[in-house]
Amino acid sequence: MSADLTAITRQAEAIHPNEPHATGLATRLNWLRAAVLGANDGIVSVAGIVVGVAAATTARGPILTAGVAGLVAGAVSMALGEYVSVSTQRDSERALLATECRELREQPEAELAELAAIYQAKGLSAETARLVAEELTEHDAFAAHAEAELGIDPDELTNPWHAAISSALSFTLGALLPLLAIVLPPTGFRIPIAVAAVLVALLLTGSLGARLGGAPVLRATVRVTLGGAAAMAVTYFVGHLVGIAL
């Protein structure tokens, strides 16, 4: 049966060469989508800060200082939040895997029956499900149960440090765009150029994020772009009022 399954898999890959069959592809897409969303957060957050400050003062120093402070604070916050979140998830996954390992050691027959029941519930006949469970158990019982019961790949647990660094880096790259767009142009063109650059960037990140997530591109792109525009409008208005008051 294993040889037949291998032949069927190879035939499917030959017929559909553009369909990904590699393990971990979904994980890589999720990482890429998270990076796009992190960059989007950096764009919107720092754009709101620098546009608000630019509405209150034309001095380049305060605008640059506020933008850099927002970039650093946002990147650190993203990194810490992602590290804590992924560490908690990793601890939970490890606990589940440890429990499964103990059950396999103490109740192998019960676990075999449970694995067969899982495949039978997916549509296989009782005989085929039992045969599949036995072959998978013989090959790697722990990996088979981790995937079928828990939906976890023991060899691909997310690294919290990687997640933290990735989030901080993507946020920083996104935040650099509005920061540079507001401090480099001449005084009279700072806000228009920054707003235009941010809106174009949001169109791109919104479209890319929607494609990676399988969401409707137009709706997601419009939502992200309008949200960024609203954020800049609010901070500009507040910054303008503060500038008048000062």
Would you list the DSSP string of 81-125?
HHHHHHHHHHHHHHHHHHHHHHHHHH-HHHHHHHHHHHHHHTT--
Residue 211 corresponds to which tokens in the numbers above? Answer: 């494609």
Higher pLDDT among residues 47 and 108, named by residue: 47
State how far the Cα of 209 lies from the Cα of 63, in Å rounded to an integer.
Answer: 29
Looking at residue 45, its pLDDT comes to 94
Specify the 3-state DSSP secondary structure of 73. helix
Q: Average pLDDT over the chain, rounded to whole?
A: 83
**pLDDT at 143 exceeding the cut of 80:** yes
C-alpha 27 chain-centroid distance: 9
Closest CA to 93 of 162, 161, 158: 158
Residue 106 corresponds to which tokens in the numbers above? Answer: 């103490």
Using CB atoms within 10 Å of the CB of residue 164, give its burial: 0 to 12 exposed, 13 to 18 middle, 19+ buried: buried
**pLDDT at 17 exceeding the cut of 60:** no
pLDDT in tens, 110-137: 888 888 888 888 888 888 888 888 888 8
Max Cα–Cα distance, the chain, nearest Å: 80
Mean pLDDT confidence for 148-162: 80
In angstroms and rounded to an integer, the radius of gyration of the C-alpha atoms of the chain is 25
Looking at residue 156, its pLDDT comes to 74
Give the lowest-confidence range in 9-13, 68-72, 166-170, 207-211.
Answer: 9-13
Mean pLDDT confidence for 56-66: 93
Looking at residue 24, its pLDDT comes to 52
Q: What is the pTM of this model?
A: 0.74
Looking at residue 236, its pLDDT comes to 93
- Scan for tokens 């791109």, then name that residue: 204
Residue 2 corresponds to which tokens in the numbers above? Answer: 């294993």
Looking at residue 26, its pLDDT comes to 55
Residue 215 has φ and ψ, to the nearest 5°, of: -95, 165
Looking at residue 29, its pLDDT comes to 61
pLDDT in tens, 163-208: 899 899 999 999 999 999 999 999 889 999 999 999 999 999 888 8
C-alpha 108 chain-centroid distance: 37
Looking at residue 176, its pLDDT comes to 96
**In 122-216, which ranges are continuous DSSP H helix?**
126-145, 160-183, 190-213
Closest CA to 153 of 94, 193, 105: 94
43 contacts 228 by C-beta, under 8 angstroms: yes
178 contacts 46 by C-beta, under 8 angstroms: yes
Closest CA to 41 of 210, 212, 201: 201
